[in-house]
Amino acid sequence: MTTTLKTFSEREFYLGEFRGRTIAIAWPETEAPVQQPLAGVVEVLSANGSRVVVLSPVEQVFSLAGVGAPVDGATPSYAPELWRDLRDRGAAGLRLGAEGFAASCVEVARALRLAKVVWIRSAPPVERNAGEGRMSVVDLAHLEPLLDSGATGVDGGPVPRADGDARELLGAIRDLIEGGVPSVNVCAPADLVRELFTYSGAGTFFTRDRYAEVRPLGIDDYDLANDLIERGEADGFLAPRDAPAKDAVLAHGVGVFIEGRYLAGIGAILPYPSDEAAELASLFALTRYVGEGAGGQIVRYAIERARDEGLAYLFSCTTSEKVEGFFERHGFLRVEPQSVPRAKWDDYDPARRSRVRCLRFDLR
């Protein structure tokens, strides 16, 4: 079976999420103005039916973004003026002062009830302490300590980027989220496309809560879940499945949802009633959330559910040594193929079976 990405588009998913909403791109004077990809992103979002407000104290930014003459944010009636520009063109600029720019962005975003703020900053505002690079997702619980003097980072060590500029931005992000802005993204100018339109992202995503729940997929989740399965198959991470097998994955699928709406990872708990067992299959975490434990949350959920249902064991099969190590870290043990339900191998590809690694978690 040949799988392509023709039906899968990360960009289309995010465009659907952004459609009909107003998004701000905040460009401080500390970042050099560049035309691309800023102008392209503004054009794509505007054509999508989204509204884009560019916030900046730098006149050249508005010109390069292609949003026309900016509205003066110091004008009491700036909001109606901005609305007219957005209505007519789908994009507009709002000129804010360089001094107190972060605070002004917070005030504007809260007043306009923006759906998202994308902050342009080349240097990550917060990094991991163990040399692992930037944090891809930060929630308020982890953001608050970073604002304290002498704070500790997310892994218990000193905050590596606690300079005044970074702390000012982190404080503004906290105020934005607490003021009702659902999410804030911070990225370098060149990374706008990856940050806005891909699952991997290239910056840092700030939100109120990191993970809200692991729950079964609902029918409104099937579109994205199906796309993720196709992506995993095309990348060689997931075994290709025919239509009935894919339907079974969706019917028994579970997902990790951030704030109840952002899908971070999926998996399926496929029942084998006659063996009192279940298979954890099609486990796939979005690239951005791999380091945030999305896959592990699904595994723990599957184990607890299997216990609640009185099953004898949970198992999974993979051809990947990396995935095998992942399951072993969660208490699974390598077993022979005959130690999982015989029905698993019905119509199974012989070539793949010769390479498959079976892992099992006993519950009794």
**Are 226 and 154 contained in the same domain?**
no
| Phi, psi (degrees; rounded to nearest 5) at 299 | -60, -45
pLDDT for the residue 163: 56
By residue range, what is the domain housing residue 30?
10-207
Query: Cβ contacts of residue 223 below 8 Å, gap of 6+?
Result: none
Judge whether 5 lies within some domain.
no
Query: Cβ contacts of residue 308 below 8 Å, gap of 6+?
Result: none
Angle CA(338)–CA(230)–CA(316) in degrees, nearest 5? 20
Structure tokens that stand for 43 in this block? 């054009």
DSSP characters for 265-290?
EEEEEEEEGGGTEEEEEEEEE-GGGG
pLDDT for the residue 285: 77
- Location of structure tokens 């809200």: 212
**Are 182 and 298 contained in the same domain?**
no
Judge whether 223 lies within some domain.
yes
| CATH assignment of the domain containing 167 | 3.40.1160.10
Judge whether 65 lies within some domain.
yes
Structure tokens that stand for 114 in this block? 């923006």
DSSP characters for 143-184?
HHHHTSTT-B-TTSSB-S--SHHHHHHHHHHHHHHHTT--EE
| Phi, psi (degrees; rounded to nearest 5) at 307 | -65, -45
**Are 116 and 200 contained in the same domain?**
yes
What's the one-letter identity of residue 360?
Answer: R
Out of 159, 190, 207, a domain closes at 207
Out of 155, 176, 207, a domain closes at 207
Angle of helix 222-234 versus helix 243-251 axis, rounded to 10: 130
Contact in structure between 233 and 186 (CB atoms under 8 Å):
no
**Are 199 and 294 contained in the same domain?**
no
Number of domains in the chain: 2
**Are 282 and 358 contained in the same domain?**
yes
317 forms beta bridges with 358
**Are 327 and 226 contained in the same domain?**
yes
Q: State if pTM tops 0.85.
A: no
**Are 139 and 70 contained in the same domain?**
yes
**Are 221 and 296 contained in the same domain?**
yes
**Are 128 and 257 contained in the same domain?**
no
Out of 156, 175, 207, a domain closes at 207
In 10 A of CB 344, how many CB atoms? 19
**Are 78 and 25 contained in the same domain?**
yes
Identify the segments of the chain with pLDDT beneath 70.
1-10, 13, 127-134, 148-164, 199-200, 209-212, 259-261, 286-292
Judge whether 244 lies within some domain.
yes
**Are 166 and 244 contained in the same domain?**
no
| CATH assignment of the domain containing 332 | 3.40.630.30
**Are 260 and 238 contained in the same domain?**
yes
Judge whether 3 lies within some domain.
no
Judge whether 172 lies within some domain.
yes
Judge whether 93 lies within some domain.
yes
pLDDT for the residue 160: 45
Separation CA 177–CA 184 (nearest Å): 8
Tens digits of residue pLDDT in 128-185: 655 455 677 788 887 877 776 544 444 444 444 445 678 889 999 999 999 999 889 9
Separation CA 76–CA 81 (nearest Å): 10
Judge whether 349 lies within some domain.
yes
